[in-house]
Amino acid sequence: MEITAAVLERVGEPLVLRALDLEPPRHGEVLVRLLASGICHSDLSLMEGKWPAPLPMVLGHEGAGVVEAVGPGVDETRVGESVVLTFTPGCGRCRFCLEGRINLCTSAARSMDDGVLEDGTTRLSLNGQAVHHLALVSSFATHAVVPAAAAIPVPRDLDPEIACLLGCGVLTGFAAVTRRAAVSPGDSVAVFGCGGVGLATIAAARLVSAYPIVAVDPLPEKRELALRLGATHAVDPVDEIGPVDIAFEAAGIAAVAEQAFRATRTGGKTVLIGQPALGVHASFPIYELTQFEHDVLGTHIGGAVPALDIPTIARLLQAGRLDLGPLVTHRFRLDEIDEAIAVAVSGLAGRVVLDTGNAWREGANVRLVRNQDGGEP
């Protein structure tokens, strides 16, 4: 089938909206009609060349939609399910999966590195040439073929513009608080960096009754948004901060990680969530790590188990125990991808979401490349 997707063809250049061929789902896979996709900082890092990636590639890894078809070996009753996509479904065979550390699955990591699905091939192509998947998902598109285990059922009435964020940003913040850091009621918390993941961390800290919850960001708009999502205090990074029981670094900047470390009390935890470019180093005093048992914890998607944690967050949203509405500050259609990326890069947004279910503006004059000659729809 023919789909529309935003393709990264060259590092440092804008995404190209292309008409691609998408093969039907193979054994153990499903076809998902995408309704919404979040734009994550990781997508921007790939565009900027901070991380290596096989090109061309359809970006996007925060997706929500509806299962439209299933491949062999998948229960046909799954057709019609509302789902959130995850890039770490877990193979169930590697050491990390067997240890319960699904987020570190080696099969998913290999698919991420190679830009392929679990069988080592791609379902996407342009003029017979392979186009790579991002992290088993590729949600900057109207449709995606993904492993069945990567399509996690959620309630039908869950807003796709919120549901898609459960695939990465919200999941990361939620699990970093509840799993990796194991925040307890009354723990004092500081969150350094109030982008999408930092704001989700604040919302999760509020959910588990941390107090106080200090949001740290240089932008007044971000501090105001943090207060709406559950922060009890919001300060500029130049202010004196701490000591707190647990500090979360959510900016992916070495200097901010070091500041978060300094704001953590003796015997406390500094949790590094933000993902910098490859090769970035931070410096921490070893004496304090040993003498005072100061824990510095790295985390990949918060240590989440997506098949458990995504439905849990969905239930909390349904029950009104968690309000993520303020987190989505900007919405665009797929044909507005350039503008959406620019807003995400600006740093002024909470979370930017693409409406992939209604991919085109009414009356829009959009050049959709179908072939090497640059044909239009």
What CATH number does residue 225 fall under?
3.40.50.720
Residue 20 pLDDT class (50, 70, 90 cuts): very high
Tell me the per-residue pLDDT of 172-188, one tens digit each, with 9 for 90 and over.
999 999 999 999 999 99
Cβ atoms of 31 and 143 closer than 8 Å: yes
**pLDDT top residue among 275 and 307:** 307
Residue with tokens 């509405």: 325
Number of domains observed in the structure of the chain: 2
Same-domain pairing of 135 and 241: no
Q: How far is residue 33 CA from its own chain's centroid? A: 19
Q: At what angle do helices 220-229 and 196-207 cross, to 10 degrees?
A: 30
Q: Is residue 81 part of a domain?
A: yes
Q: Is residue 29 part of a domain?
A: yes
At 39, which CATH number? 3.90.180.10
Same-domain pairing of 11 and 87: yes
pLDDT of residue 363 exceeding 60, the answer is: no
Q: What is the pTM of this model?
A: 0.92
Tell me the per-residue pLDDT of 221-265, one tens digit each, with 9 for 90 and over.
999 999 999 999 999 998 889 899 999 999 999 999 999 999 999
Same-domain pairing of 124 and 180: no
Query: Which residues form the domain of 125?
Result: 2-167+324-355
Q: Is residue 162 part of a domain?
A: yes
Same-domain pairing of 16 and 98: yes
Same-domain pairing of 7 and 92: yes
Q: Is residue 312 part of a domain?
A: no
Same-domain pairing of 182 and 158: no
Same-domain pairing of 21 and 152: yes
Same-domain pairing of 30 and 42: yes
Same-domain pairing of 203 and 159: no
Contacts of 187 (CB under 8 A, 6+ apart): 210, 211, 245, 246
> Is 266 buried (19+), middle (13-18) or exposed (0-12) by CB count in 10 A?
exposed
Same-domain pairing of 117 and 205: no
Please tell me what DSSP assigns to residue 102. Answer: G
Rounded to 10 degrees, what is the CA torsion of 311, 312, 313, 315?
A: 80
Q: Is residue 110 part of a domain?
A: yes
Same-domain pairing of 160 and 174: no
Tell me the per-residue pLDDT of 86-129, one tens digit each, with 9 for 90 and over.
999 999 999 999 999 999 999 999 999 999 999 999 999 999 99
Q: Indicate the residue among 302, 334, 364 that finishes a domain.
A: 302
Same-domain pairing of 221 and 268: yes
